[in-house]
A and B are shown apart, each in its own frame.
Chain A
Amino acid sequence: MISAFTLLFLAALLSIALHRSYFLKPFALMALGISAFFTLDGAVVPLSGFVSDVSTQLFELIVEIVLFALVLHEDEDISITQVLFIGAASVLLLQSNTLISFVLSFEAVSIISVVLVSYIKTKDQAEGAVKMFIAGALGTGFLFLGVFFYVMGGGDLLQEITSEANRFEIIGLFIMLSGIFYKLTIVPFHGWAVDSYALVRHSHAAILTAVAKTVVALATFKLFAPFLATHINLSVPLLATLAVITMTLGNFLALFEKNIAKILSYSSIAHAGYILLAFVAVKSEYAKDGILYMSIAYIFMQSAAFLVLDILRKKYEVQRLQELQGFVSQNAILAFFFTLQLFSLAGIPLLAGFLSKAVVFYAVVDAGFWYIALIALLNSALSVGYYAWIIKTIYFDKSTSKERHVEITLPLFAQIILAVGTIYFGIFAGVVFSSSL
C-alpha cells in the first residue's frame, strides 16, 4: 500500500512542473485529499524504523487538513510546493520509531522550514530567515552532539530509545532534547523565534509555528517518553523549571508587545511551555492524551491566527495593534474568525484551546504536581489579558480608517476549515481520547 509520505513526496516533486499554471492549487489540494484517504487506511512509510498507530494516524490526518487550508490560503506557487514537502516530512517524523529515523526526519522538517522562509523578498524577511537558519543550525548541532554521546554510551541508533540509559546515554539524550527545544522555542532556546515568526511571511510562520512545532513535539514525546518516565528524578525538575520559565516569560513579554505578530509569537512561546508540561507529567497516563490534544488544538488555532495576520498585512496593511482599532467595522467576518481563534488560544471553553489545556494541566495534577498546574493555570489566565486586549481593540475601539467591505475568497474558506476544527475539538473530546491508546 502506498503511504501518505510517498504520495505527498511525489506530489511535491510533480508540483514543481506545474508552477505558473492554474492546475497547481487543485493538484495540491487533491494530493492532500488523497493522502488523507491513505492515512485513514493506515499505511506506514515502507522503510524500517517507521511505525504507525491510531494517534499518529489521527494527527497525520489533522496535519493534512491544516495543510489543505494552508494551500487554499496560499497564492505563491513555490510555497504550495513547500507545503507538500513539509506534509511529507511531517508524516515521516510522526511515524519515526527509532533514533536514526527520528533524527533524519527531524532534519528533513528543519531543512524544509529553512527552504520555506528563504524565499526572500524584503530585508525584514531576510533577517527573519537568517535568524531562523542560525537557530536551526545550532539545534542540529546539539542534536548531533547528543547522538554522539548517546552512541558513545553504547546506545543503538537503529532501536527505540532505551529507557534504562547509562550516564553517557542520559547526557546524550538531554543534549538531544536541548537541540529539539530550539525547534520548540523553549526558553532559553527561544531567542530566534519572535523575530523570525514576526518578520517572515505570516503564512510561512503559520507552518513554522503551528505545523513544524506540533509535529516535532508529538514525535519527540513518543520517542522520549519511556526514557523520561524512568528518569523522573532528573527530568521532572529540569523540564518543569523550563516549562514554567517558558510560559511565564512568553506571557509577560506578550503583555508588553504592541506588534500583533509579535504578540502571537510570544503566545506561541508560552504555548510551548504548556506543551512541555506534558513531558513533565509523563508519569501520568493522561500525558499522552494531553500532548496529542494540545498539538491538535494548537495546530488549528495557531495556523488560523497567523493566516489572519497574513491577510491583515497583505490586504489591510495592519501590523501594529493600534491599526486594528475598530476592525470589526471593516471586515466583520474576518474579525469573527480571528476572535474565535484568539479565545481558543486564551483557553475559553467550547473551543479546542480550553479542553487541550485542561487535559495537559490535569495530567500535571494527576502526576502529583498540583502547584505546577496552578502556575500554569494562572499563566493561562494572565494570557487572557493580551488576547482580550486584541479583541477589545477590534470590537470596542472606534475605527479610524474608512469602511471596507467583505470579500468571499479562498482564504476565507481556509479560515472556515480551521474554525470548524477548533470548535469540533472543543466539544468532542472523545475522538482524541479513544485514539490515543
Chain B
Amino acid sequence: MSALEFIFVPFGLFIILSLFIRGESSLSKYIALTLFGFMLSFSFELYSALPLQGYMELGNYLEVKEFGFSLSLAVDRLSVIMLILTSVLLILVGLSSWSMKNQAMYFNLLIAFSGAIFGVFMSTDFLWFFIFWELTLVPMYFLVGIWGAERRVYAAVKFFLYTHVASMFILLAFFLIHKESGSFDMRFVKESMLLSPVLIWWLLFTGFAVKMPIFPFHTWLPDAHVQAPAPISVLLAGVLLKMGAYAMIRMVILLFPETSQEYAWVILLLGVVTLFYAGFMALKETHLKKMVAYSSISHMGLVVIAISTLSYAGLSAAVYEMLGHAFIIAPLFLIAGYFHHKTGSWQMQDMGGIMQKTPYVSAIFVVAGLGALGLPGTMGFVGELSILLSAMKSHGIWLAAIALASMIGAGYIIWTFRRVIYGEMSEVVAKTKFSMNPMEFLALLVFTLFIIGFGLFPSILFDAINPIFSSYPFLGGAL
C-alpha cells in the first residue's frame, strides 16, 4: 500500500465498518489489529528506505494550483520515528482494549484515529497537516465521551473545545505563513521569507503549547486523561501529546530558529514551571489516575526544557524522552484503570496492599513507576540525564535544579507504591477478585520490556534519533 492509502483506507474502513458492524462483534478488533500491523511494517519499511538526512517524497495529491495547496506527503527521520511509535502504541492499545464493551464501534473509531494520526506525521502541507491534526479530535471526542468514567461527557466536551480553540491560533499562523511566503509547504518555508515571524511564532507556540501541554494551558489534560478509558489515556499521552511536541520541534524550533533563540527563555521558563507545578500537584493527589496524569504533564515539562535548549543534543534528548514518556506512562495509566475497574475506586487509600492479590501486574506497575522517577537502567533515567546535561550546557549550571524535580518524582511515586502496592491490605482490595485478560497483560509486558530494554541500551534509539538534527546548522553542537 502507498502512503496515501494508509491515510484514507482507515477512513473508508471506518465508514463501511460503522455502517455494517455493530454491538459486540469482534470483527472490527481483528481488522483494526491487522491494519495497525500493516502500519507498523509500513513504518519500518519507510525507516529502512529513508535517507540519513532530509525528506523522502511519498507523493503529491489533490493539487489546487490556484491556492498553492496540495496533499504533499513526505517523511523525514523525525516523522518516521513518530510513525513507528504511533503504530506500536496503536497495536498495544488494541491489545489492552481486548475486552472493551461495545467493541465494534470502539475499534472503528480507533481505525479512524489511526488514519488521521498517520496523516499528521506524513503531510508536509500546512493546511493538510492542520486538517489531520483537527481530525484526530473527532474519534477522541467519542472515545472519551462514550467509554469514559463518571464525568466523561464534561471531559470530552472540554477536551474538544479547549484544543479546538487552540488550533485556531495554529490555523491563523498557517494563513499568515502562506500569505507572506506564498507556500503551504513546510519544507520550503524559511524564517527569512516571513514579514512577521514574531507574531506567527507566538501563535504557533500558543497553539502547540496547549496540546503538549505546557503550563498554564494544561487544564484540559487532567480531566481528559482521567475520564478517558485507560487505553485511550495511553493514546492521549502517548500519541496526542507527542503530536504537540513533534509540531513544536518541527514548526516552532526548526522553522523559526532566530525567533526561537530570542524567546528561548520563555520556553525554558514555562518548561520549568510545568515540571515543578505538575510534580507538586502529583504529590498532593490521592486520586491514582490523576497522579499519573500530573506525572505525565511533569515529564512533558522535561521535554519542553529539552526543546528550549535549541541544541542538537537537547532536541535528541527531547525525542528520546518523548518515546520514554510514552512507554513509561502507558502501563501506569493502564494499571491505574485496571485497579479502578476492579476495586471501583480511584482513591489510593482504597487500594492498599494490592501486591498481595495481584503480584505480576503490581510488579509491572512498580517497574514503570521506577522508570517514571528515573531509576538507572530504565528509559526514564537516560531521558532525564541527557536532558539535564544538555540543559546545563545551554542555559548554565543553575539548571542542575531540575534534578530536584526528579526528587519530587521519587517522592510521589514511592509514596504511591507505599499507599497502593504495598502497605496493609485495604478492605476493598480484600473483597476484590483480580483477573486480567492475557492479551491486556501481554501489552503490559511489552511496555515493560521497552522500558528496561531501551533503558539499558539507549544507543539503539539515539542512533536513530541523532541524524534528525545533525543537518540543521543553526543548532548548537553535541554534548
Binds A, one of B46-54, B132-140, B230-238, B376-384: B132-140
A392 touches B164 (CB 8 A): no
CA distance A361 to B165 in the complex (A): 15
In the bound complex, how far is the Cα of B451 from the Cα of A48, in angstroms?
78
Given A336-B18, A396-B146, A428-B62, A381:B164 Cβ within 8 A: yes
Q: Once the chains bind, are B175 and A392 in contact (CB under 8 Å)?
A: no
Closest 7 CB pairs of A and B: A349-B131, A377-B168, A433-B66, A365-B175, A381-B165, A396-B145, A430-B64
Q: From residue A390, how far is it (CB to closest CB) to chain B in Å?
A: 11
Does A395 lie within 8 Å of B157, measured CB to CB?
no
12 more contacts with CB within 8 A, not counting A370-B199, A384-B164, A395-B142, are A362-B179, A365-B175, A378-B168, A380-B168, A385-B161, A392-B153, A395-B145, A395-B146, A429-B69, A430-B63, A433-B65, A433-B66
| A433 and B67 contact, CB distance less than 8 A | yes
Q: When A and B form their complex, what is the total count of cross-chain residue pairs whose Cβ atoms lie within 8 Å?
A: 98
Q: How far is the CA of A348 from the CA of B137 in the complex (A)?
A: 9
Q: Mark B252-276, 1 if CB is under 8 A from A, else 0.
A: 0000000000000000000000000
B375 interfacial contact with A, CB 8 Å? no
Which residues from 277 to 322 on chain A have a C-beta closer than 8 Å to any C-beta of chain B? Answer: 286, 289
Question: In the complex, how many angstroms separate the beta carbon of B171 from the nearest chain A beta carbon?
Answer: 6
Q: Is the CB of A396 within 8 A of B178?
A: no
B1 to chain A, nearest CB (A): 19
Interface of B is mostly: helix
For the complex, give the distance between the alpha carbons of A437 and B66 in Å: 10
Contact B172 A348 (CB under 8 A): no
Q: Does A388 contact B (CB under 8 A)?
A: yes
Mostly, the A contact residues are: helix
- Chain B residues near A389 (CB, 8 Å)? 157
Contact check, A349 vs B146: say whether CB atoms are below 8 A apart: no
Q: How far is the CB of A61 from chain B (nearest CB, A)?
A: 19
Which residues, 161 to 176 on A, are CB-close (under 8 Å) to B? none
**Binary B-proximity of A349-367 (CB < 8 A = 1, otherwise 0):** 1100010001101100110
- B163-196, CB under 8 A of A: which get 1 and which 0? 0110111011001101100000000000000000
CA distance A360 to B164 in the complex (A): 19
- Within 241-298 of B, Cβ neighbours of A (below 8 Å) are at none
- Nearest chain B CB to A162's CB is how many angstroms away? 28
The docked-state distance in angstroms from the alpha carbon of A396 to that of B156 is: 10
A354 pairs with B69, CB closer than 8 A: no
* Chain A residues near B130 (CB-CB < 8 A): 349
B127 at the binding interface (Cβ < 8 Å): yes
Q: Does B215 make an interface contact (CB < 8 A)?
A: no
Which one, B11, B138, B160, B172, contacts A374 given CB within 8 A? B172
Within 8 A of A (CB), among B297-313: none
**Chain A residues positioned under 8 Å from B42 (CB to CB):** none
A429-B64 in contact (CB<8A): yes
- Which of A370, A397, A430 contacts B175, CB < 8 Å? A370
Residues of B within 8 Å of A366, CB to CB, are 175, 179
Given the known A-B contacts A395-B142, A395-B146, are A384 and B11 also in contact in the complex, defined by CB atoms under 8 Å? no
Is B135 within 8 A of A348, CB to CB?
A: yes
Query: 1/0 per residue A246-257: CB within 8 Å of B?
Result: 000000000000
CA distance A388 to B63 in the complex (A): 31
Which residues on B sit within 8 Å (CB–CB) of A8? none
Rounded to whole Å, the gap between the CB of A11 and the closest CB of chain B is 35
The answer to whether B64 and A384 touch across the interface, beta carbons within 8 angstroms, is no
The answer on a CB contact under 8 Å between A362 and B178 is yes
Name A's B-contacting residues (CB within 8 A).
286, 289, 332-333, 336, 343, 348-350, 354, 358-359, 361-362, 365-366, 370, 373-374, 377-378, 380-382, 384-385, 388-389, 391-392, 395-397, 427-430, 433-434, 437
- Cβ-based interface call for B141 (8 A): yes
Residues on the A chain within 8 Å of B141, using CB = 388, 391
- B161-A381 in contact (CB<8A): yes
A326 to chain B, nearest CB (A): 11
Given A389-B157, A433-B67, A370 and B138 contact (CB-CB distance below 8 Å): no
The verdict on B77 contacting chain A, using a C-beta distance below 8 Å, is no
- Which of A336, A365, A392, A429 is in CB contact (< 8 Å) with B179? A365
Cβ-defined contact, B62 with A370, below 8 A? no
Shortest CB distance A387–B (Å): 10
How far apart are the CA atoms of A111 and B168 in the complex, in Å?
A: 40
Q: Which residues B111-128 have CB closer than 8 A to chain A? A: 127
Taking a contact as CB atoms closer than 8 A, the residue among B131, B161, B169 that contacts A384 in the complex is: B161
Distance in Å: Cβ of B98 to nearest Cβ of chain A: 23
Docked Cα-Cα span, A332 to B145, in Å, equals 17
B419 at the interface (CB under 8 A from A): no
Measured CB to CB, the closest approach of chain A to B139, in angstroms, equals 11
A428 to B67, CA, bound (A): 12
